[in-house]
Each structure stands twice: as structure tokens, then as C-alpha cells.
Amino acid sequence: TTPARQLVATAIIGAAVIGYLVRKTPESRTRLESLSQMASTLGELSETDAAVVAKLLAKPATRGVSRHV
């Protein structure tokens, strides 16, 4: 079974991911980066979850992209 601490870390990181995907602000990005780094340092973030966060953060944040030509 998955330890409770890892589940809590996953829930917190998941909330930060959703916040970043919705807001796309520098603050939400920094929160996601900080939380994922802390969880990784504590050994509470799986390699798979860390890869998902890294892939998300590798993409540039685009919000409200205009499609007018």
C-alpha cells in the first residue's frame, strides 16, 4: 500500500498542478515548483509524478492566446 504521507503529498501537488493549469500565473508556477521540489527532497514524490510535473513545467505558460488573424 501507499504510505499516507505520500498520498498527502500527491494530493497537495495535484492541487498545485490544477492551480497552475487554471491560472498560469508566475505565482502558481512557483508554488508548483516549490512543492514538487520539497516533496521530491523528502522522498514523497514518485518518479512518475515528478516526471509529469517536470513535463508540465517544461512547457511555456500560455494563457488567453489570441486566435485573431
pLDDT at 60: 79
Helix (H) or strand (E) holding 23: helix 4-23
- Distance (Å, rounded) from C-alpha 36 to C-alpha 13? 6
pLDDT at 62: 67
Helix (H) or strand (E) holding 36: helix 26-41
Q: How confident is the model at residue 63 (pLDDT cuts 50, 70, 90)?
A: low
Tens of pLDDT, residues 1-30: 568 888 899 999 999 999 999 999 999 999
Tens of pLDDT, residues 25-60: 999 999 999 999 999 999 998 899 999 999 999 987
Asked if 15 and 39 count as a contact pair (C-beta separation under 8 A), the reply is: no
Q: How confident is the model at residue 67 (pLDDT cuts 50, 70, 90)?
A: very low
User: What is the grid cell recorded at 41?
Assistant: 527532497
